[in-house]
Amino acid sequence: MSGPALRRTLPRDKIRRILALIRKESYQVVRDPSSIAIGIVMPLMLVLLFGYGLNLDVKNVPVAVVMEDSSPDARELAAGFQLSPYFDAFLVSSMPIAEQLLIARRVDGIVRIRSDFSRELAAGSADVQVVVHGTDANTARIVQGYAQGAVAQWAARRGAEGRAVAAPPLAVQSRLWFNDANDSRYFLVPGLVVLVMTLIGALLTALVVAREWERGTFEALFVTPVQADEILLGKTIPYFIMGLIGLVLCIAGAKILFHVPLRGSIAVLIGVSILYLLVVLGIGLVLSSLTKSQFVASQLAMLVTFLPAMMLSGFLFDLRSMPTAVRMITYVLPARYYVALLQTLFLAGDIWSVIIPNAAVLAAMAGGLMLLSGVATRKQLA
């Protein structure tokens, strides 16, 4: 009954068939609590976690100040640490006590003022020893910087009072463009948009399509008059809409809850997000058509989309500092281009020289993957 002559019917029938498939898929989405969990609960949870939970700004670091010298100079330096907003300093009398505290992780660092501190200072050069707990290397380095700053400030204050310390000859004055307050939320919250879109796009699509293959319901669809491209559209449009809902939830959360500025235009943001969504949907479709197994498809989707979006996209870690081989891999990953777009659109504005090349790469990837998934599905029809 479904000969090729019959299939080449009016475009109206084509639309009707696609709509029917969308309806069937939408029922499946709405009736399965796990789709709602990943489409609505997950974005909300991530917005809250990224906004409140993840924080790279180090403040109130607990440190032990070892006072082996009790001269006024030493006490003054220790007070510098106690007054600093970056430290939560408490005084201990000996190094072994401080070391015990460091081993127990009660403090993250030790500032040691040796017994001959004020004598050496009078002689022209004194030394302060700083020990940090190196397990968390990033925090440790920031603590080192703060400690250096606290000592330098104390020296500058003494120098200004005309006492026996020369002020450092130069000062670095720094300004952070696009993020004056140095708030890590400003780059973490836009970054989570990429995670949400990747999860909904790639992981969910890979699972639902692989399930149809696994259960044999795809073959059942093939014997109906529905054509391959119609199946693909009917499958992707509901998840595409879910991805857009996730996007809106993230943008609203970022703006309303965390006041992250959106300096670019919202139209461009939505436009490039649609491109990225098409790319990850395409990856999900291709993976599921190739593997036809829910377990393998979901593992691969995690491996090639989600984890790279987290680690290799430039959202947390600087791409330029990665070894060349790893950097080459990042050029193949769509997340890299999307993160560049998101960071620019949220924090810098509509800078077309950044937007156009990145969006062009995403568009090319989307086109290529859609073609590929069409081929992968059609082959199975024969």
Partner 1 sequence: MIPKNGNRSSERIMRNVMPDALVRVFALIRKELLAMFKDRRSRVSLFLPPVLQCLLFGYAATYDLNNVPYAVLDQDRSAASRAFLAKLDGSGVFVRVANLYAAGQITDYIDNQRALLIVQFGQDFERQLFAGLPAQVQVIADGRNSNTAGVALAYVGAVAEAFGGDWLSGHGQSGPPITVTMRAWYNPALETRWNMIPSLIGTLTMLQTLMLTAMSVAREREQGTFDQLLVTPFRPSEIMIGKAIPSMFVGITQATLVLLVAQLWFRIPFEGSFVTLYAGLVLFLLAAVGIGLLVSSFVATMQQAMLFSFVLLMPFTLLSGLTTPIGNMPPVLQYFTYGNPLRYAIDIAHRVYLEGATLAQIAPDLWPLAIMAALTLPVASWMFRHRLT
Q: By CB under 8 A, is residue 211 in contact with partner 1?
A: yes
Q: Which is nearer to partner 1, 226 or 297 (CB)?
A: 297
Q: By CB under 8 A, is residue 199 in contact with partner 1?
A: yes
Q: CA-CA distance, 240 to 274, in Å (whole number)? A: 8
Query: Token match 């680690």: residue?
Result: 311
Of the candidates 50, 19, 37, the one whose C-alpha atom is nearest the C-alpha of residue 230 is 19
Q: Which is nearer to partner 1, 357 or 368 (CB)?
A: 357
Figure out which of the listed residues 15, 295, 379, 380 binds partner 1, where binding follows CB under 8 A. 295
Figure out which of the listed residues 314, 337, 359, 373 binds partner 1, where binding follows CB under 8 A. 314
Figure out which of the listed residues 18, 46, 92, 233 binds partner 1, where binding follows CB under 8 A. 46
Of 361-380, binders to partner 1 (CB under 8 A) are: none
Rounded to whole angstroms, what are the CA distances from 92 to 95, 105, 108, 112, 124?
8, 15, 14, 10, 26
Contacts of 357 (CB under 8 A, 6+ apart): none
Q: By CB under 8 A, is residue 83 in contact with partner 1?
A: no
Figure out which of the listed residues 15, 30, 37, 381 binds partner 1, where binding follows CB under 8 A. 37
CA atoms within 13 Å, Cβ hemisphere of 19? 6
337 close to 308: Cβ distance less than 8 angstroms? no
Q: By CB under 8 A, is residue 13 in contact with partner 1?
A: no
Of 88-147, binders to partner 1 (CB under 8 A) are: 102-103, 108, 121, 124-142, 144-145, 147
Q: By CB under 8 A, is residue 189 in contact with partner 1?
A: no
Query: Token match 């119609």: residue?
Result: 230
Site size for partner 1 (CB under 8 A): 113
Stretch that binds partner 1, among 4-12, 237-245, 276-284, 287-295 (CB under 8 A): 287-295
Contact mark string toward partner 1, 333..362, x via CB under 8 A: -------x--xx--xx--x-xx--------
Q: By CB under 8 A, is residue 78 in contact with partner 1?
A: no
Give the nearest distance from C-beta 6 to partner 1 in angstroms: 34
Of 148-187, binders to partner 1 (CB under 8 A) are: 148-149, 151-152, 155, 164-180, 182-184, 186-187
Q: Which is nearer to partner 1, 19 or 290 (CB)?
A: 290
Retrieve residue 44's tokens.
Answer: 């909300």
Q: At what angle do helices 11-31 and 228-252 cross, to 10 degrees?
A: 50
Question: What is the helix (H) or strand (E) element at residue 62, kind and residue range?
Answer: strand 61-67
Question: What is the helix (H) or strand (E) element at residue 65, kind and residue range?
Answer: strand 61-67
Beta-sheet strand order (sheet of 87-92): 87-92, 61-67, 109-113
Q: Which is nearer to partner 1, 108 or 230 (CB)?
A: 108
Figure out which of the listed residues 299, 363, 372, 376 binds partner 1, where binding follows CB under 8 A. 299
Q: By CB under 8 A, is residue 321 in contact with partner 1?
A: yes
Q: Is 258 exposed, middle or buried (0-12, 13-18, 19+ CB in 10 A)?
A: middle
